[in-house]
Chains A and B, each alone.
Chain A
């Protein structure tokens, strides 16, 4: 009889495929491997009574109960002469029937990602040629498929009972499509969110605690959807919500795919906040390379300017957004006209008003502080908002004033007034203020979005700390000085320029 090794060698097959090559065959291989994972995980879920019992109840029993509730509601409303409200309220029921089974996807996702890590069964998988993408896809499908199938089945049972039953209410097909798509989008959001949560923990206990970061926004989302659902004339807004959820899903997938990698999964030993390391890393990021005496010149040369240069991609995005907002404001001015032409006859009043404001500025140097504080406050708020919204809300806050500027300039131009005074009221200090806003907006955008795709050589936490250090460096080293100078010009030079032009 052949030896063990001889027998194995007879079966030797080519094992190596080149890394990082994307072709149709590679995509097919990725999907095939992902489905191997999915099949195993789904089979495992089907064998777990703790998962199957609620799915069974929510799929088969809950829709029938919901159907009975619908019958009772219908009777109650009709008895009280409020049957006109039924078309508004009844669509909530299929939404709830669909949502409850889908909520289990969160449990399965946490279990399949962090549970496996906790049971140490992930490492053998990570030691195989499976790519991170294959693992991520396979597990995400596995977390979504049983709850989604349960959800669709539940909704089908509910609808079937409605159609075959005696009740008069029949949901519109478009509404059914909306509910099915919303349910699917919610499942996607919960699973992609769960992956992000799982990557930050080493135990299901910690993951369950962190799951509130998913449950709370999801609850708010469902409440918002319900509020819209009961207003039939506003139901088209559900498409916008769906689009918003899908954007969030894309960002979460991006973030999850980056975080779901071998290094992050096995490099993290404890869910411990290492404040010392955080403090040191952040301070080093702000100060620049350690081991050298601090010199302001060196700090700007080696730390601040390279950080600002590194933001050129984000700055381009900010520039595009503010330009878009400006153009959007201009276009909006054409649609919503303000009778500015009346001001043409009242130039003297306008001038008097401006003069009194200039005089106020001359008498009150605190206006410089006020102008500075206003800009600093907006940029700080943009940074904070951006931190929690992948940078999106920060970007919105930075872009809105430009939209307003575009709107006003549009009104001025449409009214036939000269745009020159208006432009001169912006340009002198704007020459410094706008670059400061773009820089600060770019730093805020990076801070919010860096976790969705950290640089390859950094972990998510390292990348976030580096971005936070950049915010401080650029804020203190560039934005603040520019804003101070801009505030000085805004209070002293800009009014004089406008006054000069208006008196011509």
Chain B
């Protein structure tokens, strides 16, 4: 479990993280989204007890990040923003080095790196120098390093950056598998599709502050409005459209289609269907217009920019 409360970090006169509060429960994935320099990496570094918060507190796996840093770091697996591998080492040596640091027993030290590497399709690369690895291989190795000591909490900074689609999918599946094992996972990413696919909770961070957080459904409901439905018919709606206006909010109409918003599709859609079929209209399709996290994210950032610019003196 990860808990933060009013977490702040100042670098001299610059506030990098500003009163960040969130909780990540075991078995969930929490995604931090935001532009470069938003404070995501600084937050991760505070959660890893690398940087000390200027104010506020954070607990990771039940340990305070300031008072019990060694315990926190022992229980956290971190994938850093830059993989930072030692290019002259071989994969096997590299993982053995970290396994020794984590005090893994010799038998585990011999077995686990190979298991993990094989799982990520790097079994054959154990004997290669890291300088010979591709970008994606390096990223996967860094992920293996983060998982090496079987941590209950994982902090993953851009977990699939530089990976080919196949490898990225593999990594995403691994992360989902780790979630099923009740591990607490926090990721930072620019990849909105990935965040949408993985995250149970999302926080959008801008200029050190969390400007919005919640599940994807909550965020999209709050920032891009009620779900948008698209209805397609075999012929023109004619007067039937007026009968729908009292039930839903019509957004757009065409010859044989219309789009409407409704806060509760499960309740409204059957009524719409009944009304239209009652009026003798044949429905071809009724579906929700998909809204991506990108739409939501851009709307959140735009709204925050608007608020910020309104708040500034002329």
A contact set with B: CB distance below 8 Å: 3-9, 11-13, 15-19, 33, 36, 40, 44, 47-48, 119-131, 262-263, 266-267, 269, 274, 276-277, 280
CA distance A125 to B75 in the complex (A): 14
Interface string of B50-77 (1 = CB under 8 A from A): 1110000000000100011111011110
Tell me, in angstroms, the Cα distance from A263 to B49 when the chains sit together.
Answer: 9
Asked whether, in the complex, the Cβ of B82 is within 8 Å of the Cβ of A123, the reply is yes
The complex places the Cα of A7 from the Cα of B112 at a distance, in Å, of: 9
CB-CB nearest in chain B for A15: B74
4 A-B pairs closest in CB distance: A121-B84, A5-B181, A120-B82, A127-B78
- On whether the beta carbons of B12 and A277 are closer than 8 Å, the reply is yes
Given contacts A4-B119, A36-B101, A121-B85, contact A129 B73 (CB under 8 A): yes
| Contact in complex: A266, B45 (CB < 8 Å) | yes
**Distance in Å from the Cβ of A152 to the closest Cβ of chain B?**
26
Q: Which of B86, B103, B145, B180 contacts A40 (CB 8 A)?
A: B86
Partner of A17, one of B71, B177, B181, B183: B71
Residue in contact with A266 in the complex, picked from B50, B70, B101, CB distance below 8 Å: B50
For A124, give its contact among B45, B105, B145, B149 (CB under 8 Å).
B145
Contact A4 B177 (CB under 8 A): yes
Cβ of B2 to closest chain A Cβ, rounded Å: 15
Q: Which residues of B contact A40 (CB under 8 A)?
A: 86, 89, 97
CA distance A262 to B71 in the complex (A): 15
Please, which residues of chain B bring their CB within 8 A of the CB of A44? 86, 88-89
Q: Do A19 and B68 touch across chains, with their CB atoms under 8 A apart?
A: yes
Task: Report the minimum CB–CB distance from A500 to chain B (whole Å).
Answer: 59
Residues of chain B lying within 8 A (CB to CB) of residue A130 = 73, 101
Inter-chain contact B69/A4, CB cutoff 8 Å = no
Q: Is the CB of A13 within 8 A of B104?
A: yes
Asked if B135 lies at the interface with its beta carbon under 8 angstroms from chain A, I say: no
B100 within 8 A of A: yes
Residue of A nearest to B181 (CB): A5
Say how far B150's CB is from chain A's closest CB, in angstroms: 4
- Which B residues form the contact surface with A (CB < 8 A)? 11-13, 45, 48-52, 63, 67-71, 73-76, 78, 80-86, 88-89, 97-98, 100-105, 108, 111-112, 115-116, 119, 142, 145, 147, 149-151, 174, 177-178, 180-181, 183
Residues on A with C-beta less than 8 A from B75 are 15-16
Check B51 against A128 for contact (C-beta < 8 Å): no
Cβ-defined contact, A123 with B71, below 8 A: no
Contact, CB under 8 Å: B71 / A266: no
Q: Which of B70, B100, B111 contacts A19 (CB 8 A)?
A: B70
**30 A-B contacts (beta carbon < 8 Å):** A4-B115, A4-B116, A5-B181, A8-B116, A11-B104, A11-B108, A11-B112, A11-B150, A12-B150, A15-B75, A15-B102, A15-B103, A16-B74, A17-B71, A19-B71, A40-B86, A40-B89, A119-B84, A120-B83, A123-B81, A123-B84, A124-B78, A124-B84, A126-B48, A127-B76, A129-B101, A131-B70, A262-B49, A267-B11, A269-B11
- Tell me whether A277 and B74 are in contact (CB under 8 A): no
B177 touches A19 (CB 8 A): no
A77 CB, nearest partner CB in chain B, Å: 48
Bound state CA distance, A266 and B80, in angstroms? 12
Expressed in whole angstroms, the minimum distance between the Cβ of A474 and any Cβ of chain B is 25
**Contact check: which of B82, B111, B142, B177 meets A3 at CB < 8 Å?**
B177
B80: which A residues are within 8 A, CB to CB?
A: 120, 123-124, 127
A406 to chain B, nearest CB (A): 47
Cβ contacts under 8 Å, B151 to chain A: 15
Contacts of A17 in B (CB 8 A): 70-71, 74
Name the A residues within 8 Å of B68 (CB-CB).
Answer: 18-19
A277 to B51, CA, bound (A): 21
Bound CA span A131–B68, Å: 12
Contact B88–A48 (Cβ < 8 Å): yes
- The chain B residue sitting closest to A266, CB to CB, is B50
Chain A residues near B177: list those with CB within 8 A.
Answer: 3-5
Minimum C-beta distance from B67 to chain A (A): 7
Taking CB atoms, residues of chain B closer than 8 Å to A18 are 68, 71
Q: How far is the CA of A139 from the CA of B151 in the complex (A)?
A: 26
A281 closest partner in B (C-beta): B12
Contact check: which of A119, A120, A127 meets B73 at CB < 8 Å?
Answer: A127
Identity of the chain A residue whose Cβ is nearest the Cβ of B120 in the assembled complex: A4
Residues of chain A within 8 A (CB-CB) of B108 are 11, 13
| Residue from B50, B104, B105, B147 in contact with A123 in the complex, judged by beta carbons closer than 8 Å | B50
What's the least CB distance linking B42 to chain A, in Å? 9
Name the A residues within 8 Å of B150 (CB-CB): 8-9, 11-13
Kindly state the separation between the CA atoms of A12 and B150 in the bound complex, as whole angstroms: 7
The complex places the Cα of A17 from the Cα of B149 at a distance, in Å, of 14
Give complex CA distance A9, B177 in Å.
13
CA gap between A4 and B150 in the complex, in Å = 10
B144–chain A nearest beta-carbon distance, Å:
11
Identify which of B11, B74, B180 contacts A5 (C-beta below 8 A).
B180
With contacts A4-B177, A13-B105, A19-B68 taken as known, whether A277 is within 8 angstroms of B50 at the C-beta atoms is no
Q: Select which of B51, B67, B103, B147 is within 8 A of A267 by beta carbon.
A: B51
Nearest to B44 among chain A residues (CB) is A127
B288 to nearest A CB, angstroms? 33
| Pair A128/B101 contact, Cβ less than 8 Å | yes
- Evaluate contact between B89 and A19: CB separation under 8 angstroms: no
Given A16-B75, A130-B101, A277-B13; A263-B52 close (CB under 8 Å): yes
Contact B98 A128 (CB under 8 A): yes
Write out the residue numbers on chain B whose beta carbons fall within 8 Å of the beta carbon of A13. Answer: 103-105, 108, 150
Contact of B50 among A9, A11, A33, A127 (CB under 8 A): A127
**Contact between A16 and B71 (Cβ–Cβ < 8 Å)?**
yes
**CA separation between A7 and B45, bound complex, in Å?**
29
Q: Are A122 and B84 in contact (CB under 8 A)?
A: yes
B71 to chain A, nearest CB (A): 5
Residues of B within 8 Å of A12, CB to CB, are 150
Chain A residues lying within 8 Å of B145, measured Cβ to Cβ, are 124
B174 and chain A: residue at smallest CB distance: A4
From the candidates B13, B82, B83, B112, name the one contacting A280 in the complex (CB within 8 A): B13
Contacts of B88 in A (CB 8 A): 44, 47-48
Residue of B nearest to A11 (CB): B108
Give the distance in Å from the alpha carbon of A16 to the alpha carbon of B63 in the complex. Answer: 10
Chain B residue contacts of A280, Cβ below 8 A: 13
Known pairs A131-B70, A277-B13; A7 contacts B115 (CB<8 A): yes
- Further contacts, 9 of them, CB under 8 A, given A126-B48, A127-B50: A5-B177, A5-B181, A9-B181, A11-B150, A15-B103, A16-B71, A40-B86, A48-B88, A277-B12
